[in-house]
Amino acid sequence: MILQKSLQIKKNNVFKTLSRYYSISSSSSSSSSASNKLSNDLQHPILDKLKSKETIKIDDKQRNKKNSNENHLFKAKTQLMRDFIQDALYNPKSGYFTTKEVIIPENVQVKPLNSLANFKEYNNYLHDLYGQLEHAWLTPVELFKPYYSRAISRYIVEKYSQQQHPDTPLKIYEIGAGSGTNAVSILDFIKDNHPQIYENMEYTIIEISKLLAEKQVQRIKNKHPNVKININNTSVFNWTKTMEEQECFVVLTEVIDNLPHDKITHSFNGSFETVIHSTLENSLSKNQKHLIREELSKINDPVIIEYLEAEKIWSGKSDQDKSKLKQKLDNLLSMFKEDESVWVPTVCFKLFQILAKFFPRHHLVLADFDYIPSIVKGKNSPTVQHKQRVKDQTQVKYESIDLDDVTLEVGSCDIFFPYEWDQLYKMYCYTNKDRIGFDLANVKTFKHKDFIKQYGQQDLHLTETKSKYNPILEDYKNMSFLIS
């Protein structure tokens, strides 16, 4: 029940993520020309690395017609899985997060948790709260405000105090700040408890949504007019600012779960990438036909190749480490195995490379899901959900429905991924190992409960129900922190 509830407590700051992180060009290109643009060197802008084999074709017979049938063309698109998910979530005209109201309305306020009797009342309260929201979700930042953000603040201040140059102003970068709740809560805490740090600090938000960026500026500036606040209305994958040479903190709370993945299939014939073919009847009629199908193709995407090679290294499975006999034995055994599909975090891999390149002295504060139950096939598969309108006595409410397929109508559902936290840790260490001052000993992982216990101990009595059940500790058991 707790895991299922944790699934639902999602996404006030979610209009966003990949839409914050990269956007796929809608221009036509052939598979070969797209591949030629990509190289294994991290280039700038990073967006070029993430473009894949996307083509748009129009039926030749329809192309030659110059009458009203021009409004009835068939458009076909071929994409890698990550690009299809990008469209499904963040297409400007039809994406889930760009066409749905996913930000919690300002009139929705969470009750003080210490006013609730016990776990049952807490659970029923959340169920009723979510029933009122057609698409919006609550994150820990919103549900436990300001105490969740205060725990993050304590970690940041503790780490900042250990810097080699304590006179350097504190700099915080938050990627995907949603409504700005986390930023306001962090600034409130530092102002009240560390005024000498607050006086000179800088807070920078990287936010692709123009609407959210404008709201963040207004909300934060109203509360903290004297702090240097920078709102960059751009994607971190298009980061064009000067490299941040100083120590800084990069904060991502419930962000990477919405970063698109690629789907790889391993069989005795080799490994294959998943390509999505979708056809849309571009008709003036409301009854548009949208056909979507998956196809396996030999892996030739440079980002996938780079990721898989790197994964072998950080997992200790590199072919160079195997004897020829062991390689032959593995190849022989693979003939007797069933095909295996795996969802791989290629976009998060690129995000970590960007942080290493443009923020070489950063300290990471990342929180997200380490497990999510899913009925989609494959290892590390995403959860696919949409909210369905139901009638409860005299009220209209909404309930979450799990789906078993990703290749659904673009914009119809939320798609979010869990991460194997030990692999995420290794991926981060691998991508950051060569940056200035990187110390592997400083990279740590915490379960959600352990992090809150260590850095939020002072506030625990404020989130405890009357029965001593404490949601900030006992809920979100399927979340973890990665810090550096």
Which residue shows structure tokens 């110390």?
A: 439
CA-based nearest residue to 220, from 177, 162, 274, 268:
177
Please, which pLDDT band fits residue 172 given cuts at 50, 70 and 90? Answer: very high
Q: Is the pLDDT of residue 394 over 90?
A: no
DSSP 415-482: EE----HHHHHHHHHHHHTTSTT--GGG-EEEEHHHHHHHHSGGGGGGS--TTS--HHHHS-TTEEEE
Please check the confidence at residue 162 and state whether its pLDDT lies above 70: yes
Helix (H/G/I), strand (E/B), else coil: 398:
strand
Kindly list the domain boundaries of the chain, sorted by start residue.
1-273+297-380+408-484
Instruction: Give buried/exposed letters for 233-247 (b at 16+ CB in 10 A, else e).
Output: bbbbbbbeeeebeeb
What does residue 64 show for φ and ψ, rounded to 5 degrees?
-80, -10
As a whole number of angstroms, the distance between CA 383 and CA 369 comes to 11
Which one, of 481, 364, 457, 10, lies nearest residue 472 by Cα? 457
Q: What CATH number labels 1-273+297-380+408-484?
A: 3.40.50.150
378: CB partners within 8 A, 6+ apart: 263, 341, 342, 343
Four-residue CA torsion sign, 80, 84, 87, 90: negative
Question: Residue 105 — pLDDT band, cuts 50, 70, 90?
Answer: low
Q: How far is CA 27 from CA 24, 52, 57, 225, 415, in A?
A: 9, 12, 11, 42, 25
Please say if the pLDDT value at position 194 is more than 50: yes
Vertex 237: Cα angle to 39 and 30 (nearest 5): 45
pLDDT at 171 over 70: yes
Q: Give pLDDT, residue 132.
A: 76
pLDDT in tens, 50-91: 544 443 333 444 444 444 444 445 578 899 999 999 989 888
| Residue range 113-132, pLDDT digits in tens | 999 999 999 999 988 887 77
Task: Cite the DSSP H helix spans in 51-193.
Answer: 60-63, 81-90, 96-99, 119-131, 140-143, 147-160, 181-193
pLDDT per residue over 438-464, tens digit each?
A: 999 999 999 999 999 999 999 999 999
pLDDT at 137: 74
